[in-house]
Amino acid sequence: MKKSFCSGVLALLVFGFSLHCKAVSLEFQSIDPNDFEKISKDLGAYFSHTMISPASPRGDVFGIELGINAGVTATPGIDSMTKETDPNNSAEMLPHLNTVIGVSVPLGFTIEMNYLPSFSFDGVSAQMQSLGVKWTATKTVLDLPFDLAFRLFNSSAELSFSQTVSLANTNVTFKNSSTGLDVIGSKKFGIIEPYLQLGFAQLTSDLSTTGTSIIDPSLSASDSASANISGMRWAVGAQLDLYVLALGLEYAQFFGQTKTSAKLALTF
C-alpha cells in the first residue's frame, strides 16, 4: 500500500512536471562560456541531492522513509536564454520532483536516495538519481545538546530536448554530476525538528548537440563542451513527525540558485 501510494503521487507529479516543460518550450540559439556556466549552475541546483531531513536518523536502530519531494528551483540562466528566442517565454522557476528514500541502520548511518525515473514528453526528457550516506555522529562518538551529522553524496542527471535551428532539427543534451559533503545540525522540539545544513559540492557539466550546433566557438570548436564548477550549498528547514507520516519544508541555495522544497513521506 505504501509503495502504491508513493508510485501514484510520483506519477501525478511527473505528469504535472511534463506539462510545465511543454509550456516553457526550451530553446537555446547560441551558448557561450558565460551562458554555459549559468545553465550548469541552474541544473546543478535543480538536480542536487535533496532529502529535506534533519541530522537525526530515521530510527534509533533501524528505520525506513519512503516519500516524495517537490518544489521549485530558480533558473535565471535558463530563463535569460529562452527569452532570447521568445521574450514572452518564462523559465524563472522550474518545478522539481523526485522520490525520497532513506534507510537508517545501527551506529547512526543512513543510506539516502533521490530518484526520478526517465520520462519523455513533447520532445523533453529527463532523469536523475543521487545517493548519499549520512552519519549522525551524536549517536555514537559525540555528546552534544543537539544532533550533528555528516553527509557524503553523489548525484547524476540528464536533460535533453529537441529544437529547430535554421530550419534543421537539433538535439540538445545536458548531463551533470555533483559530489559533495554536508554538515547538518538539528534539535527536536516535540514533533518538530528544525535543522541547518552547510556544505560544499563539485559539479561537472557536459553539453552535447547533434544537428545544427548551438555552441558558440568561444566555448568549444566541436559539438560538445564541459565545465567544472565548485561552490557552497546551504539549507534551512524543518521536519514534522506524525507517527507514520513525515512532512518537511526546506529553503536552500545550491551553486548560488535558490531551491524551495516540500516532502511528504511514510516512515516505518
pLDDT in tens, 240-261: 999 899 999 999 999 999 999 9
pLDDT in tens, 76-100: 998 888 887 777 777 788 888 889 9
The β-bridge partners of 110 are 104, 134
Q: Cβ–Cβ contacts within 10 Å for residue 75, how many?
A: 26
Torsion angle defined by CA atoms of residues 19, 20, 21 and 22, in that order, rounded to the nearest 10 degrees: 50
Helix (H, G, I), strand (E, B) or coil at 13: helix
pLDDT confidence tier of residue 5, bands split at 50, 70 and 90: very low
| pLDDT of 10 over the 60 cut | no
Residue 145 has φ and ψ, to the nearest 5°, of -75, 5
DSSP H/E element including 251: strand 245-254
The percent of the chain in helix, strand and coil, each rounded to the nearest 5, is 20, 55, 25
List, in order, residues 6 or more apart from 161 with CB less than 8 Å away: 26, 123, 124, 125, 171, 172
pLDDT in tens, 130-187: 999 999 999 999 999 999 999 999 999 998 887 766 656 778 899 999 999 999 999 9
* pLDDT average, residue stretch 105-127: 87
* Percent of the chain residues past pLDDT 90, beyond the cut: 58
- How much is the pLDDT for 169? 77
Where is pLDDT greater, at 26 or 224?
224
Record the pTM: 0.87
- How much is the pLDDT for 4? 45
pLDDT in tens, 43-73: 999 999 999 999 999 988 899 999 999 999 9
Classify burial at 248, counting beta carbons within 10 Å of its beta carbon; exposed 0-12, middle 13-18, buried 19 or more: buried
Classify 190 in phi/psi space as left (phi over 0), alpha (psi -120 to 50) or beta.
left
Average pLDDT, the chain: 87
- DSSP conformation letters of 76-102: HHHHHHHHHH-TT---SEEEEEEEEEE
